[in-house]
Every structure is written in C-alpha cells, then in structure tokens.
Structure 1
C-alpha cells in the first residue's frame, strides 16, 4: 500500500506493533477504493488502528479546523481512541469530549480547533449546539461500535450531529456484529462491507445452557439462592403466568433483592417504568412472562432464568434470544423442580450449577429512576432534562444516567445518593414553562 499522507513504519514503531493484521490491511485498501466503508470485526481485533489510518489519509495538513469526527458509545472507548491516536505521533491534534468530563476543559481544548475530535453523542451534540465545535470542514465521520450507540438509544443525538455536517464526504462504520440495521440518517450510500466476523453462528456458541435442581417443587428459595450466587448481573426471570411473576418479584424484593416485574396486565406507564428501571441499572432483575421474550430492546442481558420451563421449544428459543447478543456471551439457566425433568427440546449438554454455600444478597444498585409527567408532546427532550437537573438540581453529568423521553412522560436515572437533595431543590422549579413534578418512579 502506497501512501504519502503518513509514515506507517513510524506509527507502528510508536505503537509497538510489528505489522498490521489482515483486517487492518483490508481496511486501508477498502477505504482507498470506497467512499463509505462498514468494517465488521470482533472486539479487541484492532479496529481502532484500522480506521485511524484511513482517517489520516483524508487529512490535509494545511487545512485549519476540524476535519474528522469519531463518535463512540462510551467515554472509555473515546479515551482509548484518543490515547492510540496520540501515541501514533502523527502531529495532528485530537480532543476527547464525553459526559462526566468538565465541559470547561473541553471548551478550552476546542478554542483552537483540533483536526480530529472523538466523543460520545450527547456531549458532541451539546458542543455543536453551543458552537464550540465548528463543523464546516468535517469531511470524515467514523461511527465506532455504531451498534452499541444505537442500542444505547443515541439515535436522536447522532441524527442531530450528522445533520450539522455540510461538508461530509466519507463515512467509516465499525461494529462487532452484523445484525444491526443502519438508520437512514447516517446517509450511507454504496458502502463496501468488510466482514471479518467468524461466521454467523457466533451468538449461538456464546450461549451456555445450565440447570439448577430445586430440592422441592416450590422453587422460590432456590431462585433466591441462585440470584445471590450470580451476583449483580443483568438477569431476566421467566414465568409462565402473571400471578407467578408478581409472586416471584415480591418474594425477591422481600429478601432484599431489587427486582421489577413486567406482564400484559400492566398499564403503559407501569410497563415503561419496569423496563426503564431494568435498562438503566435501577434494578438488575426483571421478572416477566413471555411478553418480554420477543421484540424488546434490552441490551446486555447476562442471564436468563427459566423459573417455569417453557411449554414449547419455540418459546424456549425466544427466551434465550434475549441474551448472548451483539457478540456478547450469555447463560440460560433452567430451574428444575423436584418432580420435573429437563424438557425434550433441550438437546445440548447441560452443566449443573450446585448451590451448596451460603451466598450474600448482592449489593443494591447505585441508581434510582425519576419520573417526570412531561414528554415529547410537551416539547421536552433529553437535553432539556439534563440542563434542568444540572442547573436547578445541582447534579453533575455523571450523576445522570439513561434518559428515556416518551410522548407524555419521561424517565431519568439519577445516582441514588443524590435523589432526595435534588428533589428538594427542584420541587418549585419549572421545565419548559411547566412545573417540574419529578418523583421517584413507582
């Protein structure tokens, strides 16, 4: 590969890398030949360098202003990319912007426009709105791990950012999964896909199936022990009936485990509240009927517990499909009562988890969920809520977690230790001209 834009041997030496791998080589070649590229490769395979080098190829040393924007789903990834870019020793300036970082520091870093900016969607959108980031010369856009950004609900911010890029010429998207639809707002036309994922059966291999034997038919105590054994990990418990869902959830709550329940007899606000609390980390355990086995957008579920065995293989498969997604691993655990045996549809080898010891109740989550009776129809959006809570409620950005704005109401995760003080501060305040009646979500 010939290039006059950067010194590849020097960059590799600076990064202490002997040679590019096959995927990185293919990315360079693919990006030379195509304007838009989708790069699919497993986590940890070297995607950062695989897009940094093509980005360097697009930069013009004599052009002032920001020329490339890299959008990522998390601050950790933003910081990692900044580190790799700086270690490459290219001479170009890069700045990192993310929630929880002091805005004043970022604003100072942006006064003299860096050639490359990397950051999370919310913070980047905020800087663009405040005109701290000038977008006129940004020609190259990288959406790194775009599947996770979409999964975490950043569509609105990403769409807003991309609309503000009038000179955009090149797009590079990376992901560790091929199962994500790319939204229209990305503007991806005639993209070349470079697929280095090892086969489409990766997700199936990532799912382990285990069993726990209950000494009695009533499996509540065994379930409690199992949840304590698994610890603070995102877990869905499936039951076959609504009454059982509430009984199981109440039992776990009485034992000190924060859980929420979800079934078809709940009204819309109750359903939304349960799912939001589970998504945002207010509760790590969701007890539900098979209503949650299909179509729900709940990322990063580590365990599926079949409290009741599903009646059909199809239902069993759909329940298990909630985990081991997006190239992550997951475990399905069947709870087998004294008079039950493994269903015939379970054909894979099943390891037994033995619950012999005494297990401590997991530490309670550090987040709480606030409910606001205003939403999109009241012209309230996520940015309004963050601004309100930081200014009137004296919260820092990293005290605020996932925000979900519905048509007529909104939910926001807030660090539990700050909730009572914040509610006291904001009880007489207004948001968008209406009294902000925030309360802890029921």
Structure 2
C-alpha cells in the first residue's frame, strides 16, 4: 500500500473511499469488473490505481488501453495519471487536433493509451498502435460511448484486441445492456450508484409566459446572482443563439458544443472553471465526463428527451458533499415530464431583474505548454516576477500541450499585459494575450 499512499499524497487525497477500495480488491481477481458509481464519486482513480498495479515496468510495449466517449474526459484522465507520477509513459489520442502529433508520441510505445473511439480506431487501422501486447482494457462511461453511436468503431477496436485478460467497465448508470462484442466474461459488478445523490439535489421549476424562454432565463440568472450555472439546450444552434441573447442582455457567459474546435472548447471550459464566466451554455456534451467543481445551478432551458439525460445533466451539481439545484423552465405549452416529482417547488421570480456583478477574473492566454517544457510553477514565477502580480491575483492555471490559460484578476490584466509583452518565459518568446 505504500506506493498507493505516495500517489494519494501527490494527489493531495487523504484516503480512498469505499468504492475505490472495492474496485482495487475486485481488480486483483481474474474476472472482469463492472463499476457503477455516481458522477463525481472518484471513478477515475478507482480504475487508474488497479491499472497501475497491472503494469509491468519491464514490458516496453503498450499494456493498457482506456476508451472514453469524449476528448475532455480523455484529457482529464491523462492529467490525473500524469499527476500520479508513475514513471510509465502515457499518450492521449482524440480528434480535433493534428493526428501527426499523436503519431510521433506513439513511435515509442506508451505503456498506457487513453483515447476516443474514432481516433483510436484510426490509429489501429494505420498501424500506429500495436494491439497484440494490450492485456487490460478500461471502458470509462461505456454506456455513453454506445449512446453516442460509436458501436461500429468500438466493435472494431474490440476485435483488434486479441489478447485481453482484464476488462474494467465504468458507468454512472446501469440502464444499458452491455453488447456481446465487448466480450465480457465472468465478471463482478460493483454497484455504488445512489441515483446521483438525489438527497443533495433540489429540483425546482419556473414558468415562462412565452414560448421563447430567453426573458425568463435572463431573470432566472439574475435571481441566481454570481453562482456557477450550467444552462442545457438540446441543439448546437440553440446554444449559440441563447448565449448571444444573454450577452445582448449583459450576462457574461461562454458556450460549448461538439462542433467547436478543440482550442475553442478548451477556452470556454477554462473561463468557466476559473470564474471569468459564471454561466456556461451547452448541449448534453457537458452532461458527462467534465470535472468542474462547485456548480450550484443546472438549468434545463430545453426539457431533456429522457430521464437518463435529466439525471446526467443534474449530475454536474450536488457532487460529493455539495448541494445543488436543478431548475426546469416550462413554456405555456410544456408539461412537467413524468419522471419529475409532481410536488417540485415553483420559483417565483422577482418582478425587477437586477444584473449580477461582472466576474472579477479574466483569462490570460500563453502560447506555450507542456511540449515547450512550461509548467504551472514556471507560469506563477513569470507572472509574479515579470508581471508584478501578487499570488492572490493569479487564479486557476491550466497547461495544455502547446498553450496555457491563466486566471488573472481582471483589475490587473491591462497592467500585466504591458509588463510582459516583451518578456520571455523559460527563455522562449511566446504569444501572451487575453484569451478570446
């Protein structure tokens, strides 16, 4: 257990929870594992720690593949694994950026490959990934991959993994049958699902007097104040339209959907995480896999099509020991879905809407990242020394492969840009500007 204790210390985690301990024990046995546990309960560590115990340092080939339904989830798992500082090489593969970068990373086989179905299947077809040595497979949020229509690619990948000895499947729900092509044999089911911690989640509704709900949404956000809020729409076009109309009403917000370029998505999520924006308008793409703490409100601007979608949207809040509120907006022609309790409380909005205060943070873009050997410590040192910022003026820092984002107190942004415009970070001249 000493190695695990060292890892927990690096991750600043005091102890494993019951679900994580059970997953480690189950993975020691020969059979496969199906782990069902609520969103936000720590499933990533629950499979990464067993995976680490299965890795052989003497084996220089790829030993483990982790398949996920979204790029963001892939990047989050990659970030956690790197933070564990195991000494094993990891490569993450996903669409939305150059395949050549990944091909270079795959030339020397990583012990662990994390990726989305489409990009992993592409690499396997091109011969960039040697599958014969892969003995352990993790399907994280496996039901979402199937729901999103990845069956064909997933089936191809499974057919390419001829020597699997261990399968670990995770999900927040047990509502989906596992397809035969997954090849699940004798397996142990660990069911720690509690219905997304319903006891910590309050569900309320608000009436819109018009079919177009934007005026009601505006008043609702004003009613919330500066609390972190996700607004769910059913279509990409609706996301951009809703975001634009909120901006027209002076509500600072960012939007996020699957048709955006990867860097645009990274910027939007970073701004939401670091407090540059307290409102995120999105499709159901954000209903799974995003690790954004302290979200207070979920707004169902468009009613979810199914109870499962409703559950996963709500799973973004009331995570771990926190509480949260989900609010459905109903137009005159809409009725409360059958899966919502009939006695949910109605919110009576004030007649006069008072705009929330503007966020006190802004986001700085730095055109260098991990591949430039730039890390968080370098960025803090650069901004405090060259930018004359105090540590309390520097917020959340996110370092990607080729660029980084930094939360900076808005009142200091203009001054810091002037101070660093001709400076180098780690002897490199990189673009530094407000993130667009």
User: Partner of 2:197: helix, strand, or coil?
Assistant: helix
Give the drift of 1:355. Answer: 1.2
Superposition map of 1:409-420 within 5 A: 409-420=403-414
The 1-side partners of 2:403 and 2:409 are apart by 20
- Cα shift readout 1:2-39 (whole Å, capped 9, x = no counterpart): xxxxxxxxxxxxxxxxxxxxxxxxxxxxxxxxxx9848
Structure 1 pair 383–38 and aligned structure 2 pair: CA distance change class (3 A): closer
Whether 1:206 aligns to 2:200 is yes
Using structure 1 for the length normalisation, give the TM-score: 0.56
Superposition map of 1:65-84 within 5 A: none
Among 377, 391, 413, the alignment partner of 1:383 is: 377
Whether 1:441 aligns to 2:435 is yes
The 1-side partners of 2:201 and 2:266 are apart by 28
Do 2:196 and 2:311's aligned partners in 1 also have CA atoms closer than 8 Å?
Answer: no
| Partner in structure 1 of residue 420 of structure 2 | 426
Structure 1 pair 319–37 and aligned structure 2 pair: CA distance change class (3 A): closer
The 2-side partners of 1:342 and 1:213 are apart by 11
Structure 1 pair 386–156 and aligned structure 2 pair: CA distance change class (3 A): farther
| Partner in structure 2 of residue 408 of structure 1 | 402
Superposition map of 1:310-349 within 5 A: 310-347=304-341, 349=343
Superposition map of 1:5-24 within 5 A: none
Consecutive unaligned residues in structure 1, runs of 5 or more: 1-35, 42-149, 161-198
Whether 1:291 aligns to 2:285 is yes
Using structure 2 for the length normalisation, give the TM-score: 0.56
User: Partner of 1:430: helix, strand, or coil?
Assistant: coil
Structure 1 pair 374–235 and aligned structure 2 pair: CA distance change class (3 A): same
The 1-side partners of 2:80 and 2:420 are apart by 26
The 2-side partners of 1:275 and 1:249 are apart by 14
Superposition map of 1:230-241 within 5 A: 230-241=224-235
The 2-side partners of 1:253 and 1:274 are apart by 15
| Partner in structure 2 of residue 277 of structure 1 | 271
The 2-side partners of 1:293 and 1:40 are apart by 24
- Cα shift readout 1:361-420 (whole Å, capped 9, x = no counterpart): 000110000111111001000001000000000001100000000011100000000001
- Cα shift readout 1:290-323 (whole Å, capped 9, x = no counterpart): 0000011111110000000011111111101100
Give the drift of 1:359. Answer: 2.2
Superposition map of 1:351-370 within 5 A: 351-370=345-364
Do 1:426 and 1:436's aligned partners in 2 also have CA atoms closer than 8 Å?
Answer: no
Give the drift of 1:203. Answer: 2.4
Alignment root-mean-square deviation, CA = 2.5
Superposition map of 1:131-142 within 5 A: none
Give the drift of 1:357. Answer: 2.2
Do 1:203 and 1:327's aligned partners in 2 also have CA atoms closer than 8 Å?
Answer: no
Give the drift of 1:435. Answer: 1.1
User: Partner of 1:315: helix, strand, or coil?
Assistant: helix
| Partner in structure 2 of residue 58 of structure 1 | none
The 2-side partners of 1:405 and 1:268 are apart by 14
Whether 1:242 aligns to 2:236 is yes
| Partner in structure 2 of residue 258 of structure 1 | 252
Give the drift of 1:218. Answer: 0.2
Is the radius of gyration larger for structure 1 or structure 2? 1
Moved over 6 A (4+): 153-158
Do 2:201 and 2:318's aligned partners in 1 also have CA atoms closer than 8 Å?
Answer: yes
